[in-house]
Amino acid sequence: MKKEKTKSHFVGVRLTEEQKKALSKLEKTSDLSKTDILLRGLELLSEYYSLGLDRPPLNVELKKLEEEAMHHFQELKRIKRREESVREMVQELRDIDKIIDEYNGDKSALIQILLKIQAKNHWLPKPALMWVSERLDIPMSQILNVATFYKAFSLDPQGEHLVRVCLGTACHVRGGPKILDAAEQFLGVESGETTSDLKFTLESVNCIGCCALGPVMVVDDEYHGKLDSSKVGEILSNYRMKDMDRSEDKRKALPIRHEMRRGQSG
Partner 1 sequence: MKSISLTIDGRNVKAQKGMTILQVAQSSDIEIPTLCHHEDLEPYGACRLCTVETIKNDKTKLVAACCYPVEDGLIVKTSSERVNKIRKIILELLLPLAPTGPLYALAEKYGLCECVKKSDEESEWRMIKELRFPAEKPTYCTLCGLCVRYCSEIKKGNVIGFIGRGVDRKISLVPEENCGFCRDCENICEGGKFLSLLEL
Partner 2 sequence: MKKLQSASDVEKLRKELLRKQDSSKSCISVCSGTGCHAYGCEKVVSAFENELKKQKLEGKVEIKRTGCHGFCEKGPIVVIYPEEICYLQVKIEDIPDIVSQTIKAGKTIDRLLYTDLKTGKKVVHESEIPFYKNQTRLIFGNNRKIESKSIDDYIALGGYNALVKAFSEITPEKVLEEIKKANLRGRGGGGFPAGIKWESVRNAPGEPKYVIVNCDEGDPGAYMDRSLMEGNPHSVIEGLIIGAYAIGSHEGYIYVRQEYPLAVENTELAIKQAEEYGLLGKDILGSGFDFTIKIHRGAGAFVSGESSALMSAIEGKVGEPRPKYIHTSEKGLWDKPTCLNNVETWANVPFIINKGADWFGNMGTDNSKGTKIFSLVGNVNNTGLVEVPMGITLREIIYDIGGGIPNGKKFKAVQTGGPSGGCIPEIQLDLPVDFDELNKVGSMMGSGGMIVMDEDTCMVDIARYFVKFLSEESCGKCTPCREGLRHMLRILDDITAGKATEKDIKLLEEISEVVKEAPLCALGTTAPNPVLSTLKYFRDEYEAHLQGECPAKVCKELIQYRIDPEKCKGCGLCLKKCPTGAISGEKKGVHTIDVEKCIKCGACFEVCNFDAVSKISSKERK
The footprint of partner 1 (CB under 8 A) covers 130, 133, 139-142, 144-145, 148-149
* Rounded distance between C-alpha atoms, residue 147 and residue 40, angstroms: 42
Residue 104 found at the interface with partner 2 (CB under 8 A): no
Residue 151 found at the interface with partner 2 (CB under 8 A): yes
* Rounded distance between C-alpha atoms, residue 217 and residue 90, angstroms: 38
Orientation angle between helical segments 82-102 and 126-136, nearest 10 degrees: 50
Count of residues that bind partner 2 according to CB under 8 A:
48
Query: Which of residues 40, 98, 107, 240 is near partner 2 by CB under 8 A?
Result: 107
Residue 216 found at the interface with partner 2 (CB under 8 A): yes
User: Which residue number, 67 or 228, has a Cβ lying nearer to partner 2?
Assistant: 228
Residue 188 found at the interface with partner 2 (CB under 8 A): no
Residue 264 found at the interface with partner 2 (CB under 8 A): no
Burial 151-163 (b: 16+ CB within 10 A, else e): eebbebbbbbbbb
Residue 99 found at the interface with partner 2 (CB under 8 A): no
User: Which residue number, 85 or 204, has a Cβ lying nearer to partner 2?
Assistant: 204
* Rounded distance between C-alpha atoms, residue 238 and residue 232, angstroms: 10
Residue 206 found at the interface with partner 2 (CB under 8 A): yes
Residue 131 found at the interface with partner 2 (CB under 8 A): no
User: Which residue number, 143 or 198, has a Cβ lying nearer to partner 1?
Assistant: 143
Residue 237 found at the interface with partner 2 (CB under 8 A): no
| Number of helical H runs and strand E runs in the chain | 10, 4
Residue 111 found at the interface with partner 2 (CB under 8 A): yes
* Rounded distance between C-alpha atoms, residue 73 and residue 224, angstroms: 35
Query: Which of residues 214, 215, 219, 257 is near partner 2 by CB under 8 A?
Result: 214
Q: Where does the chain show beta strands of DSSP type E?
A: 161-166, 200-205, 217-219, 222-224
What is the CB neighbour count within 10 angstroms for residue 24? Answer: 12
> Restricting to residues 20-79, which ones interact with partner 2 according to CB under 8 A?
none
Residue 62: CA count within 13 A, CB half-sphere: 11
Task: List the one residue out of 109, 110, 114, 64 whose CA is nearest residue 89.
Answer: 64
Query: Which of residues 43, 228, 240, 242 is near partner 2 by CB under 8 A?
Result: 228
The answer to whether 143 and 132 are in contact (CB under 8 A) is: yes
Strand partners, 166: 205
In the bound complex, what is the minimum distance in angstroms from residue 96's beta carbon to partner 1? 16
User: Which residue number, 151 or 242, has a Cβ lying nearer to partner 1?
Assistant: 151
In the bound complex, what is the minimum distance in angstroms from residue 102's beta carbon to partner 1? 25
What is the CB neighbour count within 10 angstroms for residue 166? Answer: 28
Residue 170 found at the interface with partner 2 (CB under 8 A): yes
Give the interface with partner 2 as residue ranges (CB under 8 A): 106-112, 114-115, 138, 142, 145-146, 149-153, 167-170, 172-175, 178, 181-182, 185-186, 205-214, 216, 223, 225, 228-230, 233
